[in-house]
């Protein structure tokens, strides 16, 4: 019987970064190509075949539509290829949660798709990149990983794209999950799921759009005025996500400006700048009166992605948008 074959899609990031010093802090992302990554992956002795393609060689702060479009196309091709049992995407950690969530909403759950990266460059003392790659390959080769949506494997933990976030600026255990924590514990030699797949046989939740509409994120702060709202509208934003105080609040003048934006046909979603927690409707802010949407458990980054997908799909009324966030 042929070994399972995993397709690795490389985008750069710290996992492909080098610093030239085992103890230095500064480094350059995306310096190691897919050929070298494949050579190291095959040397791990994990008992699976690997092939790879280079999508980009950048830090994930520069990930955008071109890279997302290429990743979606490559993942779709792999899902349709009977010779491929799963996909691993090597990715910078800064925006891994956004890429994972976007792909999670727009791909079926028939085969594992796993993002991984590193918090330390490849030549740093204690680099975590190859261990994370090994664990991601372990997850992608496991039949029990299908039906869970897109996954992120970091720090010997597996997270669902819906829950994962980068919660620390450094350290190999920088990723957390909310409202669920990790859904599996993984090492290069073992994998333990904490529950059964919840999305088996699920089709893509959204069609892949031709483009994503402009949605801006506005960060709330004490004593701020409405200038950032007006700037977003002047730039042509189709939607605005408020990274609000506490339960998605903001100074009264900002809320009023956002209410005016809704009256002009711009979708407004309230999320929170706090690390985790629910943003519920009509708690401190009268969402019904303003026409706002409450982000519930989604943070500002994922709220933006979901709103872009909804608007690209022609969904723009607050009630329908709210129903999607609720679900």
**CA–CA dist 54, 70 (Å, integer):** 10
**CA–CA dist 5, 205 (Å, integer):** 26
Residue 150 neighbours by CB under 8 Å, 6+ apart:
100, 101, 103, 104, 107, 113, 114, 115, 160, 161
Of the candidates 191, 208, 200, the residue with the CA atom closest to the CA atom of residue 153? 191
Q: Which two structure tokens, joined as six digits, stand for 69?
A: 């479009």
Catalytic residue check, 18: no
Residue ranges for the known binding site are 60, 93-94
**CA–CA dist 322, 318 (Å, integer):** 6
Of the candidates 153, 110, 162, the residue with the CA atom closest to the CA atom of residue 134? 153
Strand partners, 219: 243
Rg (CA), the chain: 20
Instruction: Tell me the C-alpha to C-alpha distance, in Å, between residue 267 and each of 213, 245, 321.
Output: 12, 19, 9
User: What single-letter DSSP state applies at residue 95?
Assistant: T
Residue ranges for the known binding site for substrate are 60, 93-94
Which of 11, 14, 95, 135 is the catalytic position? 14
Taking a C-beta distance cutoff of 8 angstroms, is the pair 262, 232 a contact?
no
> What is the per-residue DSSP string for 163-182?
TEEE--SSSTT-EEESSS--
Backbone angles phi, psi at 100, to 5 degrees: -60, -45
Taking a C-beta distance cutoff of 8 angstroms, is the pair 167, 176 a contact?
yes
* Farthest-apart Cα atoms in the chain, separation: 66
Task: Tell me if residue 156 falls in helix, strand or coil.
Answer: coil
Q: Which two structure tokens, joined as six digits, stand for 290?
A: 């303003």
Q: Which residues are catalytic?
A: 14
């Amino acid at each position: 019987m042929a070994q399972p074959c995993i397709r690795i899609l490389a985008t750069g990031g710290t996992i492909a970064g080098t610093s030239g010093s085992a103890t230095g802090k500064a480094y350059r992302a995306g310096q190691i190509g897919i050929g070298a990554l494949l050579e190291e992956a095959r040397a791990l002795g994990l008992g699976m075949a690997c092939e790879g393609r280079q999508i980009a060689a950048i830090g994930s702060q520069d990930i955008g539509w071109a890279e997302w479009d290429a990743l979606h196309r490559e993942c779709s091709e792999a899902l349709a290829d009977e010779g491929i049992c799963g996909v691993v995407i090597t990715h910078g950690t800064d925006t891994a949660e956004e890429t994972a969530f976007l792909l999670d909403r727009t791909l079926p759950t028939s085969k594992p798709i796993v993002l991984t990266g590193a918090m330390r460059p490849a030549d740093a003392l204690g680099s975590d990149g190859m261990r994370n790659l090994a664990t991601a390959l372990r997850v992608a080769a496991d039949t029990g990983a299908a039906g869970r949506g897109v996954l992120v494997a970091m720090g010997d933990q597996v997270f669902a794209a819906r829950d994962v976030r980068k919660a620390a600026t450094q350290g190999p255990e920088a990723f957390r999950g909310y409202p669920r924590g990790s859904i599996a514990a993984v090492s290069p030699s073992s994998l333990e799921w904490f529950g059964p797949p919840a999305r088996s046989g699920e089709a893509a939740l959204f069609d892949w759009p031709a483009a994503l509409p402009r949605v801006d994120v506005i960060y709330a702060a004490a004593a701020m005025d409405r200038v950032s709202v007006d700037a977003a509208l002047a730039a042509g934003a189709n939607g605005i996500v408020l990274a609000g105080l506490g339960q998605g609040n903001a100074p009264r003048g900002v809320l009023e400006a956002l209410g005016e934006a809704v009256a002009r046909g711009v979708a407004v979603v309230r999320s929170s700048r706090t690390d985790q927690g629910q943003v519920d409707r009509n708690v401190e802010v009268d969402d019904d009166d303003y026409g706002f949407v409450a982000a519930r458990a989604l943070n500002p980054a994922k709220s933006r992605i979901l709103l872009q997908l909804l608007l690209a799909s022609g969904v723009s009324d607050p009630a329908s948008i709210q129903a999607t966030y609720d679900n």
